[in-house]
Structure 1
Amino acid sequence: MTAAHVPTLANVAEHLRDDEIHVWRLDYRPSHQRAPLRGVLAAYLGIAAERVALTDGEHGRPALAAGLDPSLGFNWSHSDGQALIAIGRHIAPGIDLERLRPRARALEIAERYFSVDEAAALAALPEAERSAAFLELWTAKEAVLKALGRGIAFGLDRLSIASAIDRLHLQRLEGDDVGAWQLQRLDIDSSLVATLAWRGGERRIRLGTLASGA
């Protein structure tokens, strides 16, 4: 994974390769709604932002409307003033972002909704480390479910993720081949936890930051 503060969105968008996923970080406020997403997609589509039409899937995942480039897959997530947008060709990426903060009920939630293995792994950690580990599992699960086009109603216990020093491992995904999936931690900054997921081969991840108003 490479990270860079790139010169312009348009320059990078023009050179999106089939073996890459571009991830953009930007400031976000709820009042912006989907305007930032449309602006980024417009650069990759080569059209004005007003012409970027979106539809929602059955479980709320946004997609490009008919007539726009069908090869372009994307997903986005926002939390507490920040957003991430992932874009790639011929894949459906899923991305999730959370602000790192104490989660007093992390173990309780995991024991109720996560897999047995995940709950046991969290229970074995010192309490001081549990919130960050919980959020990492949460964002990884959300990223996989978003890549599937599903929501948490699918069942958080129907997939299981293990966290290792070098990477995240998708150990179980009901009805799917875990070997076909990629999970990638995103090193945004120490106050954020983020994960990118996609079904397909390995890809180079390019991280960029958009200035406010870009």
Structure 2
Amino acid sequence: MQLVATIIPEMPHNLFLSKLEMHLHQDEVKRVREISNIVQAQRSGIGSLLVAHIVSGISGLPMRGISMHRYLNGKPFLPDFPNLHYNISHTHNMVVVAVGNHTMGVDIEAISTARMAIAKRFFSKSEFEMLKNSENEDRDFLFFELWTARESFAKAIGTGIFASISHFIPEKVNDRWQVNDETTGVWTIQHYHYGDNFIIALCVAKEKEIPKTIETLTIEQLWE
């Protein structure tokens, strides 16, 4: 499994779209063009660019030949590569992509002040008490560990975050979190620190596939 991140460049949107046309499948460019919010469009486009770059490296096909579709629930898939799975997450100017042979979910967040109202609504009573009793910096980090664990799991099984986030409780096993789901089995969640204040959670069913590190690509490498 590959876990790759990049920084979204600052450039005029028309130039950004013209760059995408040179590197992405025409259907994917069309999808990005239809996103009215420029920030969201560029996040989505860079995510697709990362996926195309990785799959091109695996398959030998040109990036423009990599077709990407989405199920009705929004979960993405590669119609020409049924044995490859991918998942994308973005926040602020960062995008992270996971590509591998088994389904997975990935989430990236910028660590900020713990959102205790959200924790009280969606987390378990024991988790909320643990947050309340933590020091400020520890509380902030723990909140985003728990939040990204939930979101990466929800993305792995293909449900909306708010539809499932309160229906399971991650448990800490050694240095990783786990979710034991009645329907889909045991999932392992690995966290990574990235940059100055980002946290990434990767949720997988096959623990042996967890990469040790995150690869970073520059936008220049993706445009090559």
TM-score, normalised by the number of residues in structure 1 = 0.77
- Cα distance in 2 between the residues matched to 1:177 and 1:135: 24
Report the residue type matching 1:85 in the other structure.
V
State yes or no: 1:102 paired with 2:82.
no
The 3 A distance-change label for structure 1 pair 172 and 108 is farther
Deviations 1:169-189 (A, max 9, x none): 2254353433xx221112323
Q: Which residue of 1 aligns with 2:61?
A: 47
Aligned CA RMSD, in angstroms, stands at 2.2
- Taking every aligned residue pair, what percent have the same amino acid on both sides? 23
Structure 1 or 2: more strand by fraction: 1
Q: Which residue of 1 aligns with 2:154?
A: 145
- Pick aligned residue for 1:79 from 65, 82, 91: 91
The 3 A distance-change label for structure 1 pair 174 and 32 is same
Moved more, 183-192 or 76-85: 183-192
Would the aligned equivalents of 1:182 and 1:201 in 2 still touch at CA under 8 Å? yes
- Pick aligned residue for 2:203 from 191, 197, 212: 197
Question: Could you tell me how far 1:150 is from its partner in structure 2?
Answer: 1.2
Residue aligned with 2:201, SS? strand
The 3 A distance-change label for structure 1 pair 121 and 174 is farther
Report the residue type matching 2:83 in the other structure.
S
The 3 A distance-change label for structure 1 pair 151 and 187 is same
Report the residue type matching 2:162 in the other structure.
A
Would the aligned equivalents of 1:23 and 1:208 in 2 still touch at CA under 8 Å? yes
Q: Which residue of 2 aligns with 1:169?
A: 177
TM-score, normalised by the number of residues in structure 2 = 0.74
- Cα distance in 1 between the residues matched to 2:157 and 2:216: 26
Residue aligned with 1:159, SS? coil
Would the aligned equivalents of 2:150 and 2:165 in 1 still touch at CA under 8 Å? yes
- Consecutive unaligned residues of structure 1, counting only runs of 5 or more, are 1-20
- Cα distance in 2 between the residues matched to 1:203 and 1:98: 22
- Cα distance in 2 between the residues matched to 1:45 and 1:120: 48
Equivalent pairs, count: 186
The 3 A distance-change label for structure 1 pair 45 and 153 is farther
Deviations 1:33-83 (A, max 9, x none): 53333333332333233322222223222111x3x1111111110111011
- Cα distance in 1 between the residues matched to 2:184 and 2:105: 16
Residue aligned with 1:125, SS? coil
Greater relative CO (CA pairs within 8 A, separation 6+): 1
Q: Which residue of 2 aligns with 1:112?
A: 121
Deviations 1:21-43 (A, max 9, x none): 11111012634253333333332
Deviations 1:119-176 (A, max 9, x none): 2221221234222211111111111111111111322111112447x52322543534
- Cα distance in 2 between the residues matched to 1:191 and 1:163: 22
